[in-house]
Structure 1
Amino acid sequence: MTKFDIGEIMSFGGYDWRILDQQGNTALIMTEDIIEQQPYNNYTGDVTWADCSLRKYLNGEFYNRFTMDEQSRIIPVMNKNQDNQWYSSRGGEDTRDYIFLLNIEEVVCKYFGDSSKNLENRSAKQRYWFQKKDENNSKRGSKFDGYVWWWWLRSPGRDNKRAVYIHGDGNIGIQGNGTFRYSSNTIHPTTGDNSGGVRPALWLSLES
């Protein structure tokens, strides 16, 4: 069995990936950096991960950029898409994905330290942001093209016109940002775009 350390960086398909978990000869990996900007959805209205354009893109056009040999190592998984714990907005149906985004639970409780107490014990002051003083925020921050930037999760925000995101400082915008229109006026300095960043995740066979 090929053994890696959790947190180790590996190369696959032209990207650098962080190893988040290993089960036998398979590993859950996510790009170390934001690799591009995309809207969560290409049209207005309620949407869940199952039906959003970003999921279609990742499992279609993006997946097809990998070679046939690389695709043969990407393992499809059934993802549970839970409701938002604070707002009860719908997570939607389970999905079979080759490539996906992490959800709230994976980011808060499993792969960037355990901050589940902050998720489960929401204070009266926590309306939009998860916890600015959370000790694990720094582990979630990421960059795009050398600049700190925000990135999408697949979980719904306070309603189904929004999706949860990770702020540039690693804090979780659990209220979400608009899936079609963005509430942020911040523009990325090199792209001139305010769209959310994408950090794809996938389960990879370590037997090449």
Structure 2
Amino acid sequence: MNDIELGAALSFGGLDWRVLDVRDGAALVITERIIDQRPYHDAYTEITWADCALRRHLNGAFLDGFGAADRARIVPVVNKNLDNQWYGTPGGADTEDSVFLLSIEEAVCRYFGDSSAKLYDEGRKRRYWFERKDENNAKRSAHLWRGDGGTWWWWLRSPGRLGVKAVYIHGDGNIGIQGNNILKGNLADGWCTGGVRPALWLRA
């Protein structure tokens, strides 16, 4: 990984990725674009990342779509699933994932600039995120892989205001900390469902 730098673009498994972190001989990468549109879960019920349908898909059919040599380079990790920082909604059990979504803490505080003051500011709790100007929005905004390639909203793995919602990133990069419904959208064509930007740790 000596030749891979933070922010670098790379191709892996037929997809374009962006390097978010480099550590211990592996790189954390996220797809450059939103590569799919899916609901977070397949039923409208309280759920956490540990048990949701989107996690099953990413660590099942999506992972199986890589060739054997590529799968051998993917490093399983244990992810912490924190409670929602504004509402205290339980984040659920820690999970071991080969492929995963970023958490709100990762998307807000670590990998797209540091907006931690807005996440942990006790004085402005329970107000919409877009009421506060966030200079890091553009870094989180993502484009679709299809159609005209316009921006779209994409899921994080963290819970929203309730257990039937999950946090997401608006098309403009703002934080939907209250969350969208886990079964939001038109399942027939997928167009209204949340965007998916898988992340994984990749060994050299």
State the TM-score, normalizing by the size of structure 2.
Answer: 0.93
Note the C-alpha offset of 1:181. Answer: 2.9
Q: Over residues 2-49 of structure 1, what are the superposed CA-to-partner deviations in whole Å (9 max), with x where a residue is unaligned?
A: 331111100000000000000132000000100010100001110000
Q: Would you say 1:80 and 2:80 are equivalent positions?
A: yes
Query: What corresponds to 1:49 in structure 2?
Result: 49
Unaligned runs of 5+ in 1: none
Q: Where do 1:158-173 residues align within 5 Å?
A: 158-173=161-176
Letter paired with 2:160: G
Distance 1:147 1:113, change over 3 A: same
Secondary structure of 2:129 counterpart: coil
Q: Size of the alignment, in residue pairs?
A: 199
Separation of aligned partners in 1, 2:102 and 2:5 = 20
Note the C-alpha offset of 1:130. Answer: 5.4
Note the C-alpha offset of 1:136. Answer: 0.3
Deviates more, 1:153-162 or 1:132-141: 132-141
Q: Would you say 1:35 and 2:35 are equivalent positions?
A: yes
Separation of aligned partners in 2, 1:205 and 1:82 = 26
Query: What corresponds to 2:133 in structure 1?
Result: 133
Query: What corresponds to 2:152 in structure 1?
Result: 149
* Percentage of matched positions with identical amino acids: 56
Letter paired with 1:196: G
State the TM-score, normalizing by the size of structure 1.
Answer: 0.91
Letter paired with 2:167: V
Separation of aligned partners in 2, 1:123 and 1:70 = 46
Letter paired with 2:93: E
Q: Over residues 87-134 of structure 1, what are the superposed CA-to-partner deviations in whole Å (9 max), with x where a residue is unaligned?
A: 000100000000000001101110001110011115447523355510
TM superposition outliers: structure 1 runs of 4+ over 6 Å:
none
Contact 1:132 1:171 in 2 (8 A): no
Q: Over residues 68-90 of structure 1, what are the superposed CA-to-partner deviations in whole Å (9 max), with x where a residue is unaligned?
A: 00000000000000000100001
Letter paired with 1:115: S
Supply the RMSD in Å over aligned alpha carbons: 1.6
Secondary structure of 1:57 counterpart: helix
Contact 1:118 1:130 in 2 (8 A): no
Q: Where do 1:102-117 residues align within 5 Å?
A: 102-117=102-117
Separation of aligned partners in 2, 1:115 and 1:44 = 31
Query: What corresponds to 1:26 in structure 2?
Result: 26
Note the C-alpha offset of 1:192. Answer: 6.6
Separation of aligned partners in 1, 2:42 and 2:190 = 18
Query: What corresponds to 2:181 in structure 1?
Result: 178
Distance 1:125 1:157, change over 3 A: closer
1:194 to 192, 195, 200: 192
